[in-house]
């Protein structure tokens, strides 16, 4: 259960990992001594010399660690129990048992440390997917330089079949790129001039000239790796609880073993027998497997998620993912592409071009996706919007401005109801469009409505399957949107979403998330992370989509999906459930072993060597089981 940080960088075969190598050598020396003595070649005094050589060699690493922990952190670690047990066995004259303990404990700890370090470091392998060299274009000439020397602003060339050395923006050329190292999405993405591209993506077709936007060390792949490694160190609730428990339990075991010596001595019971039991208790009650039960599972889960483009920012969030009861989706940009287009224009007064001109003039200064779509529609039709002034955005409702000194509004029907406008003549029209899942905005002023524009946003291709997948897991689904109820319900019906909360202002989304939590339990909120950060923060877990290249989204969320891929939502939930299940199995299993071994030790039914063997075997089993949390049943993806 040791987690010393000096094991991070080890590269090489497991049997050369120093703690493991030393333990194995110690085991070999002890075994030779034991064999020679038992075949009658050695007297007992000489046999012990082998054990006395083996014990310091095999025990050096963890003894030092235990003493460091005791002095620096004032903490009685499991190593202290093992030091006491080794010393106790020696005092009882059981040097062979002591050597067996040192070997088995050292070998198991070494294996486990090595596996754990490897699990944490495995995400590093992603970095090897980015080439070590780049073809830089300077003064019209190509030269090959080490990728590490690339700076932002350099232009580099990538031929078909090659991988990108760092992040950048395409200057010339068109191609489709496999971005799976960064986004986890296997389908190639078409890219052209002006578009962002990421390190380690593979250029499938045309040659590209790319302007670097980040040095090699700061590219998105390095950032992801860094984030995942940090997250693997961040402990969840279960792990914190176990560690707190261990800090009290381990000294209690030591105290219990001392009592097993003192009490029989005071009561004049046979001392040799009870001191052997005291030594056994130290080993049998050591909570190694328990302490290892969650960290391996969490590190494996977070690491494997990272490789699939799912950044989970700590063990706590992976745990949360395992208990999610409902998933709330933001509508625009999450379930839909967030790129609405104008589908209908109806003028109630004047002509259609006049109406669209006014609409575009009003929307000219707005950043809203609806506004951009309306301006674009006018441009396409060659309509020049008149100048507008005194522009004002009405959050969650629309926009107002003046044209030729006259006040105008554009926005949702509620806005006009609040202005006191009678909508009776347009009601039926509006309702029919909304039933088709379209968003209707009206154009007019206090005097009346001049017309309407309907817009539609394309649903994401995988939205429906994702919702069905969530329902199959027994998870409820909800949609939160600022759009009106009728449009929202029409979209929800198409997708099969259970629960719709519409007409929400950004701050009302927070309240809606809290309501969902009351109603269903733990809620995962999925949004784009840019304008729904408060709702993401309010949920049990907040997940931002399409985070590749947008640091704000990665910042805002507990979990960031690098790609715009809704299927990853289900995948993340699967990983969370698996990590939780595996870590719960490990906890139950290790407690079970303790409850069997402690009475057996107290009864004196075991040898030290056998106890250590069972103990270490159970710990390694917990580690191996923990690794399963990273191995995906990806069949659902
Ligand atoms: N610039 C605008 N022009 C026209 N209508 C607008 C504008 N801004 C907001 N609205 C109206 O207000 C409604 C709510 O807007 P809001 O930005 O809160 O949410 P949304 O973009 O529709 O959806 P979501 O909450 O799912 O992201 C819109 O559906 C639209 O009817
Ligand atoms: Zn969380």
Do 590 and 568 sit in the same domain of this protein?
no
Measured between its terminal Cα atoms, the distance across the chain in Å is 34
Residue nearest ligand 1's atom 29 by CA: 483
Give the H or E element holding residue 106.
Answer: helix 95-121
Structural domain includes residue 223: no
Q: What is the mean pLDDT of residues 473-483?
A: 94
Do 405 and 513 sit in the same domain of this protein?
no
**In what side-by-side order are the strands of the sheet with 326-330?**
310-312, 559-561, 541-544, 523-527, 326-330, 476-480, 499-501
Distance between CA 520 and CA 405 in Å, rounded?
52
Exposed (0-12), middle (13-18) or buried (19+): which is 391, by Cβ within 10 Å? middle
CATH of the domain at 150: 2.70.150.10
Q: What residues contact 493, with CB distance under 8 A and at least 6 apart?
A: none
Distance between CA 525 and CA 97 in Å, rounded?
56
Kindly give the interhelix angle for 44-72 and 95-121, rounded to the nearest 10 degrees: 40
Give the H or E element holding residue 634.
Answer: none
What single-letter DSSP state applies at residue 562? S
Residue of 441, 454, 512, 544 to mutate, ligand 1, most atoms within 8 A of C-beta: 441
DSSP-based three-state secondary structure for 119: helix
Exposed (0-12), middle (13-18) or buried (19+): which is 462, by Cβ within 10 Å? middle
DSSP-based three-state secondary structure for 224: helix
Rounded distance from Cα 127 to ligand 2 centre (Å): 27
Residue of 398, 510, 526, 531 to mutate, ligand 1, most atoms within 8 A of C-beta: 398
Q: Say if residue 367's pLDDT is above 90.
A: no
| Ligand 1 neighbours by CB, cut-off 6 Å | 330-332, 363, 366, 368, 370-371, 396-399, 410-412, 439, 441, 481-483
The ligand placed nearest to the CA atom of residue 408 is 1
- Other CB atoms within a 10 A radius of the CB of residue 473 amount to 13
User: Cα dihedral sign for 111, 113, 114, 119?
Assistant: positive
Position 1 scores a pLDDT of 42
Residue nearest ligand 1's atom 7 by CA: 398
Which residue, 390, 483, 401, 404, is CA-closest to 441?
483
Residue nearest ligand 1's atom 20 by CA: 482
CB 553 within 8 A of CB 183: no
Q: Say if residue 311's pLDDT is above 50.
A: yes
Q: Which residues surround ligand 2, an ion (CB under 5 A)?
A: 317, 320, 541, 558
Structural domain includes residue 561: yes
Rounded distance from Cα 308 to ligand 1 centre (Å): 33
Residue of 334, 368, 434, 444 to mutate, ligand 1, most atoms within 8 A of C-beta: 368
Residue nearest ligand 1's atom 17 by CA: 396
Out of 575, 598, 617, a domain closes at: 575
Do 9 and 109 sit in the same domain of this protein?
yes
Rounded distance from Cα 536 to ligand 2 centre (Å): 10
Shortest-distance atom of ligand 1 to CA 531:
27
Rounded distance from Cα 542 to ligand 2 centre (Å): 7
Rounded distance from Cα 111 to ligand 1 centre (Å): 57
Within 13 Å and on the Cβ side, how many CA atoms surround 607? 11
Per-residue pLDDT tens for 85-110?
A: 999 999 888 898 899 999 999 988 88
Which residue has better confidence, 44 or 243? 243
Out of 456, 480, 496, a domain closes at: 456
Q: What is the mean pLDDT of residues 609-629?
A: 90
Which residue has better confidence, 44 or 396? 396
Secondary structure (DSSP) of 430-452? HHHHHHTT-EEEEEEETTEEEEE
pTM confidence score? 0.86
Structural domain includes residue 24: yes
Position 633 scores a pLDDT of 54
Angle at 510 between CA 508 and CA 514, to 5 degrees: 115
Do 347 and 481 sit in the same domain of this protein?
no
Shortest-distance atom of ligand 1 to CA 488:
26
Which residue, 483, 355, 359, 346, is CA-closest to 413?
483
Residue nearest ligand 1's atom 11 by CA: 397
DSSP-based three-state secondary structure for 591: helix
β-bridge partners, 561? 310
Do 24 and 66 sit in the same domain of this protein?
yes
Tokens of 486: 């009728």
Tokens of 448: 């009346």
Q: What residues contact 637, with CB distance under 8 A and at least 6 apart?
A: 308, 567, 568, 570, 571
CATH of the domain at 391: 3.40.1110.10
Q: Say if residue 352's pLDDT is above 60.
A: yes
Rounded distance from Cα 558 to ligand 2 centre (Å): 6
Tokens of 582: 């595996």
Residue nearest ligand 1's atom 30 by CA: 412
Do 116 and 41 sit in the same domain of this protein?
yes
Residue nearest ligand 1's atom 28 by CA: 483
Distance between CA 577 and CA 584 in Å, rounded?
10
Q: What are phi and psi of 431, to 5 degrees?
A: -55, -45
Distance between CA 47 and CA 56 in Å, rounded?
16
What single-letter DSSP state applies at residue 231? H
Position 636 scores a pLDDT of 40
Per-residue pLDDT tens for 62-90?
A: 999 999 989 998 888 889 999 999 999 99
Rounded distance from Cα 438 to ligand 1 centre (Å): 12
Rounded distance from Cα 183 to ligand 2 centre (Å): 21
Do 19 and 78 sit in the same domain of this protein?
yes
ipTM of the modeled complex: 0.94
- Other CB atoms within a 10 A radius of the CB of residue 503 amount to 15
The ligand placed nearest to the CA atom of residue 237 is 2
State the residue for tokens 């309509």: 383
Residue of 331, 433, 483 to mutate, ligand 1, most atoms within 8 A of C-beta: 483
Shortest-distance atom of ligand 1 to CA 483:
29
CB 491 within 8 A of CB 331: yes
CA distances from 547 to 114, 166, 249, 334, 493 (A): 33, 17, 43, 12, 28
Distance between CA 101 and CA 125 in Å, rounded?
36
Position 10 scores a pLDDT of 67
State the residue for tokens 């609409």: 359
Shortest-distance atom of ligand 1 to CA 410:
4
Per-residue pLDDT tens for 404-437?
A: 989 999 999 999 999 888 888 888 889 999 999 9
Rounded distance from Cα 541 to ligand 2 centre (Å): 4
Tokens of 151: 């700076």
Distance between CA 350 and CA 569 in Å, rounded?
48
Number of folded domains that form the chain: 4
User: Cα dihedral sign for 604, 606, 608, 613?
Assistant: negative
Which residue, 487, 391, 401, is CA-closest to 438?
487
Residue nearest ligand 1's atom 27 by CA: 332
Shortest-distance atom of ligand 1 to CA 330:
26
Q: Say if residue 2's pLDDT is above 60.
A: no
Residue of 328, 367, 411, 413 to mutate, ligand 1, most atoms within 8 A of C-beta: 411
The ligand placed nearest to the CA atom of residue 316 is 2
CATH of the domain at 503: 3.40.50.1000
CB burial readout 392-401, b (16+ within 10 A) else e: ebeebbbbbb
Q: Say if residue 9's pLDDT is above 70.
A: no
Q: Say if residue 549's pLDDT is above 80.
A: no
Do 10 and 85 sit in the same domain of this protein?
yes
Shortest-distance atom of ligand 1 to CA 333:
27
Secondary structure (DSSP) of 180-215? HHHH---S-EEE-TT-EE-TT-EE-SS-EEEEE-S-
Structural domain includes residue 547: yes
Which residue, 418, 378, 415, 374, is CA-closest to 393?
415
Do 415 and 506 sit in the same domain of this protein?
no
Structural domain includes residue 616: yes
Do 359 and 213 sit in the same domain of this protein?
no
- Other CB atoms within a 10 A radius of the CB of residue 367 amount to 9
Residue nearest ligand 1's atom 24 by CA: 481
Out of 218, 250, 285, a domain closes at: 218
Per-residue pLDDT tens for 332-346?
A: 889 999 889 999 999
Share of the chain above pLDDT 70, in %: 97
Do 249 and 382 sit in the same domain of this protein?
no
Give catalytic residue positions: 330
Within 13 Å and on the Cβ side, how many CA atoms surround 208? 34
β-bridge partners, 191? 175
Per-residue pLDDT tens for 272-284?
A: 888 889 999 999 9
Per-residue pLDDT tens for 445-471?
A: 888 899 999 999 999 989 999 999 999
Do 473 and 569 sit in the same domain of this protein?
yes
Q: What residues contact 95, with CB distance under 8 A and at least 6 apart?
A: 47, 48, 51, 52, 55, 89
The parent domain of residue 111 ranges over 5-122+228-301+576-636
Q: What are phi and psi of 540, to 5 degrees?
A: -55, -40
């Amino acid at each position: 259960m040791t987690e010393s940080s000096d094991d991070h960088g080890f590269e090489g075969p497991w049997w050369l990992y120093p703690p493991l190598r030393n333990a194995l050598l110690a085991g070999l020396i002890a075994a030779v001594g034991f064999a020679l003595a038992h075949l009658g070649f050695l007297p007992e005094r000489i046999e012990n010399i082998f054990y006395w050589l083996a014990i310091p060699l095999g025990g050096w690493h963890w003894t030092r660690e235990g003493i460091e922990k005791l002095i620096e952190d004032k903490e009685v670690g499991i190593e202290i129990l093992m030091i006491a047990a080794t010393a106790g066995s020696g005092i009882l004259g059981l040097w062979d048992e002591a050597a067996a303990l040192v070997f088995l404990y050292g070998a198991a700890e070494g294996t486990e440390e090595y596996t754990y370090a490897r699990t944490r470091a495995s995400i590093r392998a992603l970095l090897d997917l980015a080439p070590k060299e780049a073809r830089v274009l300077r003064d019209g000439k190509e030269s090959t330089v080490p990728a590490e020397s690339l700076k932002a602003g350099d232009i580099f060339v990538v031929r078909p079949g090659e991988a990108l050395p760092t992040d950048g923006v395409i200057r010339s050329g068109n191609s489709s790129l496999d971005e799976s190292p960064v986004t986890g999405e296997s389908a190639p993405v078409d890219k052209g001039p002006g578009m962002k591209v990421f390190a380690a993506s593979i250029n499938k077709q045309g040659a590209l000239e790319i302007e670097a936007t980040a040095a090699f060390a700061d590219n998105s792949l390095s950032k992801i790796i860094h984030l995942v490694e940090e997250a693997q160190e961040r402990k969840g609730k279960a792990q914190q609880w176990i560690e707190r428990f261990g800090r009290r339990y381990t000294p209690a075991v030591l105290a219990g073993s001392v009592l097993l010596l003192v009490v029989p001595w005071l009561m004049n019971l046979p001392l040799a027998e009870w001191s052997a039991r005291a030594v056994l208790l130290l080993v049998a009650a050591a909570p190694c497997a328990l302490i290892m039960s969650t960290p391996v599972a969490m590190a494996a889960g977070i690491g494997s998620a990272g490789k699939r483009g799912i950044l989970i920012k700590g063990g706590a969030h992976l745990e949360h993912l395992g208990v999610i009861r409902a998933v709330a989706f933001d509508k625009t940009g999450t379930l839909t592409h967030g790129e609405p287009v104008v589908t209908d224009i109806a003028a109630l007064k004047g002509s259609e071009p006049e109406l669209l001109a006014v609409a575009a003039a009003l929307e000219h200064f707005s950043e809203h996706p609806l506004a951009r779509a309306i301006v674009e529609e006018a441009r396409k039709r060659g309509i020049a919007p008149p100048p507008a002034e005194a522009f004002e955005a009405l959050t969650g409702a629309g926009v107002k401005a003046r044209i030729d000194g006259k006040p105008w509004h554009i926005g949702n029907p509620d806005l006009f109801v609040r202005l006191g406008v009678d909508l009776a003549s347009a009601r039926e029209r509006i309702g029919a469009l909304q039933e088709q899942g379209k968003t209707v905005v009206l154009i007019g002023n206090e005097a009346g409505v001049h017309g309407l524009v309907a817009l539609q946003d394309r649903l994401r291709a995988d939205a429906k399957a994702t919702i069905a997948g969530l329902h199959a897991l027994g998870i409820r689904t909800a949609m939160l949107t600022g759009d009106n109820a009728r449009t929202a319900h029409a979209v929800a019906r198409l997708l099969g979403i259970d629960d719709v909360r519409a007409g929400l202002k950004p701050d009302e989304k927070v309240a809606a998330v809290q309501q969902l939590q009351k109603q269903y339990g733990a809620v995962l909120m999925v949004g784009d992370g840019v304008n729904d950060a408060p709702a993401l923060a309010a949920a049990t877990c907040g997940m931002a989509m399409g985070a590749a290249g947008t640091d704000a989204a990665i910042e805002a969320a507990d979990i960031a999906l690098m790609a715009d891929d809704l299927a990853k939502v289900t995948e993340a939930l699967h990983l969370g459930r698996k990590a939780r299940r595996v870590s719960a199995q490990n906890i139950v299993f290790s407690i079970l072993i303790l409850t069997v071994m402690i009475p057996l030790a107290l009864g004196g039914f075991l040898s030290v060597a056998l106890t250590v063997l069972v103990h270490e075997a159970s710990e390694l089993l917990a580690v191996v089981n923990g690794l399963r949390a990273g191995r995906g049943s990806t069949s659902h993806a």
